[in-house]
Amino acid sequence: MPGSAAPPLNSRSLPYWSGRLPVPAYDRALVTPGVVHVGVGVFHRAHQAMYHDRMMNDGAELSWGICGVGVLAADRAVQQALDAQDGLYTLVLKHGDGTYEPRVIGSVVEYLFAPEDPEAVIEKMAAEPTRIVSLTVTEGGYNVSDITGEFDAASPEVLGDLEPGAVPRTTFGLITEALRRRRQRGLGPFTVVSCDNLPGNGELSRRVFTAFARLRDPELGGGALPQLHGGPDHPGDHRRRPGRGRRPVRDR
């Protein structure tokens, strides 16, 4: 009806929006998560999730969907916003000539809130289809001591995860437990990839996760986890490269 309010973005309203702006051309009902991403913030939604959406639009396998994970209490708001829209959101690119290009992104097909259900997060990471666990957790998320430059094993969160029988709550605990279960089940490893804009982020990831694994289980950290691959260095430096003269301005 003329003048009627536009429906909120979700799976049911996607046909309405498809005539007004670009939407996923693939069948989202067939998409399965091959990537579990910790820290579904603005950077991830404007870059990595957009690339996955673009790949599947271009005919890539639909096994490259994303399951987002929140580990902080503040991530509850992200969960609520994405759940209300069935994981869909609109990304707006601003071109060099001042024009705007909106697009609905559909690659995030699931979101898990670790403080509420850490077991679900661990099992999702440990599931055979998961090939990558990627991170955008900011510099503080790597738990490196400002004094020693090494993994801070004395932080209260880490100490809590190291208690006998403790349910993992930190990113380190969740990932290490998932890797342990995969090894126990005879599954191949997933790759841990840091996507934070930090110097040597690949080597940093290897160092801190190995340090935690050694504390959690000496066998795990003593060379039994070759899957702790370093990610690409400085992927955040690529944030200007999605297209010349354009940049993401917002998503919602």
- The string of DSSP letters for 152-169 reads -TTSHHHHHHHSTTPPP-
Tally of CA atoms within 13 A in the half-sphere of 68 that contains its CB: 30
Closest alpha carbon to 124 in 60, 38, 45, 39:
38
- Which class for 192: exposed (0-12), middle (13-18), buried (19 or more C-beta within 10 A)? buried
Amino acid identity at 234: H
Is residue 75 within 8 A of residue 113, CB to CB? The reply is: yes
Place of tokens 């003593």: 222
pTM, two decimal places: 0.89
Place of tokens 């992200």: 78
Supply the pLDDT for residue 223.
58
Laid out side by side, the sheet with 132-135 consists of 108-113, 65-70, 33-38, 132-135, 191-194
CA–CA separation, 70 and 114 (whole Å): 6
CA–CA separation, 51 and 66 (whole Å): 11
Place of tokens 């699931």: 110
Beta partners for residue 94, in sequence order: 100, 247
State both tokens at 227. Answer: 């899957």
Backbone angles phi, psi at 59, to 5 degrees: 105, 5
Give 193's DSSP letter: E
Supply the pLDDT for residue 217.
82
pLDDT, one tens digit for every residue, the chain (252 residues): 455 789 999 999 999 999 899 999 999 999 999 999 999 999 999 999 999 999 999 999 999 999 999 999 999 999 999 999 999 999 999 999 999 999 999 999 999 999 999 999 999 999 999 999 999 999 999 999 999 999 999 999 999 999 999 999 999 999 999 999 999 999 988 999 999 988 888 889 989 999 999 999 877 766 555 455 545 564 454 433 333 334 444 455
Supply the pLDDT for residue 202.
85
Supply the pLDDT for residue 118.
98
Is residue 134 within 8 A of residue 35, CB to CB? The reply is: yes
User: What totals of helices (H) and strands (E) does the chain contain, helices first?
Assistant: 9, 8
Helix (H, G, I), strand (E, B) or coil at 102: strand
Residue 175 CB contacts under 8 Å (≥ 6 apart), including other chains = 125, 133, 192, 209
